[in-house]
Amino acid sequence: MPRHFTHLKDFTIGELDGLVDAASSLKKSAPSSFPLAGRSLAFCFMNPSLRTQVSFSVATASLGGHPVTLSLGSGGTWGMESVEGVVMDGSAAEHLKEAVPVLGRMCQGLGLRSFPAGKSWAEDKTEPALAAFLKYSTVPVINMESAGGHPCQALADLMTIRERMRPKGKNFLLSWAPHVKPLPMAVANSAVEMAAMAGMNVTIARPEGYDLDPEVMARVSRNCAANGATVRVTDEVPQAFDGQHVVYGKSWGSLANYGEPPSSDPVFRRKWTISAEKMRRTSGALFMHCLPVRRNLVVDDAVLDGPWSVVVDQAENRLHTAKAVLLHLLASPAKSSTASARRHRK
């Protein structure tokens, strides 16, 4: 079975730290050889992307590989079916049961970005497109953000924290933020999972109704306990900012009112927008965000333009960690995709 990079829970903190170490080396100096020479990778986007698209394209090219960026199920292609056994007389013209193996015959690795549909969390949580990629692929698959997680972002975030502090025992606040849309929870999930794995004390500040998925919280609690760290969920802001070393701002949609946007009430918004006043309560915390970010709604200009912000560094680290992930998955001696695919037939 091929290696994949799909969820943080499949890795130990030692493995994640190893990837960050590799990324740090690649940040200092370009690779002297081209370990991906002769390999092609297809990065499949079912949703828009800027950092992920550019980072994987540049990372692949810088390692000597050939990146193919695809709009899958939109733009240049047609809708994709992921459910087995259906009569395909609707809008989807191709089943992932064909598309994924086909891409695996032409390319030596695949990436997938697939957001939740936003109708039912129970259904979105099964991550049907990613599950189909994992089921049908004979080559490594990279999760470039699914309903449940964004592990590539979390890896860049871990790297960004480690560049500035030893995370173990430090205080990490995930602070919910207002928005005009009910955003996916993937980044929030991965951020707290990463912080818990890294041994940080985790605080989640969010309004009533914005709890993360219980399975995510169970993993966070387990990892914090194992590390002798604390977990706290609160709606008390700005007090939650007191003593924090890292503030991770992020909006996400409510599980209780799934698919509905947060309140646009100005008082509610102002309570939750991350401000310089709140940041001044911290122990000189870093301000982190995965980007894109809506200024003066999620977070004030004064924070993003102030001494706290490391958001552009996080983004740059997406490039270096992408290289590390590609090397981790693919940097064995080159084999032709055909030969490798053939082993999986019959």
Q: Rank residues 150 and 219 by Cβ distance to a copy of itself and give the closer one.
A: 150
Distance from C-alpha of 43 to C-alpha of 70, rounded to nearest angstrom = 6
The least distance separating a copy of itself from the CB of residue 132, rounded to whole angstroms, comes to 13
Which residues inside 162-201 make contact with a copy of itself, applying CB under 8 A?
180
* Binder among 10, 21, 25, 50 for a copy of itself (CB under 8 A): 50
For a copy of itself, what does the binding mask look like between residues 10 and 49, x meaning CB under 8 A? -----------------xxxx-------x-x-x--x--xx
Say whether residue 51 binds a copy of itself (CB under 8 A). yes
Q: Which of 270, 275, 337 is nearest to 305 (CA)?
A: 275
The least distance separating a copy of itself from the CB of residue 222, rounded to whole angstroms, comes to 34
- Please state whether beta strands 201-205 and 171-176 pair in parallel, antiparallel, or not at all (unpaired): parallel
Distance from C-alpha of 99 to C-alpha of 94, rounded to nearest angstrom = 7
Alpha helices in the chain (DSSP H): 13-28, 51-62, 96-106, 121-124, 128-136, 151-162, 186-197, 214-226, 266-272, 276-279, 301-304, 311-330, 337-344
Q: Rank residues 93 and 256 by Cβ distance to a copy of itself and give the closer one.
A: 93
Q: Rank residues 171 and 317 by Cβ distance to a copy of itself and give the closer one.
A: 317
For a copy of itself, what does the binding mask look like between residues 243 and 282, x meaning CB under 8 A? ---------------------x------------------
Q: Which of 240, 156, 229 is nearest to 205 (CA)?
A: 240
Which residues inside 120-149 make contact with a copy of itself, applying CB under 8 A?
none
* Binder among 15, 21, 25, 88 for a copy of itself (CB under 8 A): 88
**Residue 205, SS3?**
strand
* Binder among 2, 9, 17, 66 for a copy of itself (CB under 8 A): 66
Residue 49: Cβ within 10 Å count:
18
The least distance separating a copy of itself from the CB of residue 254, rounded to whole angstroms, comes to 18
* Binder among 1, 33, 89, 267 for a copy of itself (CB under 8 A): 89
Q: Give the number of residues in contact with a copy of itself, rule: CB under 8 A.
A: 72
Q: Rank residues 201 and 314 by Cβ distance to a copy of itself and give the closer one.
A: 314
* Binder among 3, 15, 25, 106 for a copy of itself (CB under 8 A): 106
Mind spelling out the 3-state secondary structure of 60-119?
A: HHHCCCEEEEEECCCCCCCEEECCCCCCCCCCEEEEHHHHHHHHHHHCCEEEEECCCCCC
Backbone angles phi, psi at 53, to 5 degrees: -60, -50
Q: Rank residues 92 and 331 by Cβ distance to a copy of itself and give the closer one.
A: 92
The least distance separating a copy of itself from the CB of residue 83, rounded to whole angstroms, comes to 10
Distance from C-alpha of 308 to C-alpha of 274, rounded to nearest angstrom = 12
Distance from C-alpha of 200 to C-alpha of 278, rounded to nearest angstrom = 20
The least distance separating a copy of itself from the CB of residue 69, rounded to whole angstroms, comes to 8
> Cis before residue 128, ω within 30 degrees of 0?
no
Q: Rank residues 81 and 124 by Cβ distance to a copy of itself and give the closer one.
A: 81
Which residues inside 287-346 make contact with a copy of itself, applying CB under 8 A?
291-297, 301, 304-305, 311-312, 315-316, 318-320, 336, 338, 341
Whether the Cβ atoms of residue 189 and residue 216 lie closer than 8 Å to each other: yes
Q: Rank residues 87 and 122 by Cβ distance to a copy of itself and give the closer one.
A: 87
The least distance separating a copy of itself from the CB of residue 89, rounded to whole angstroms, comes to 5
Which residues inside 67-86 make contact with a copy of itself, applying CB under 8 A?
68-72, 75-78, 81, 84-86
Half-sphere exposure of 14 (CA within 13 A, CB side): 0
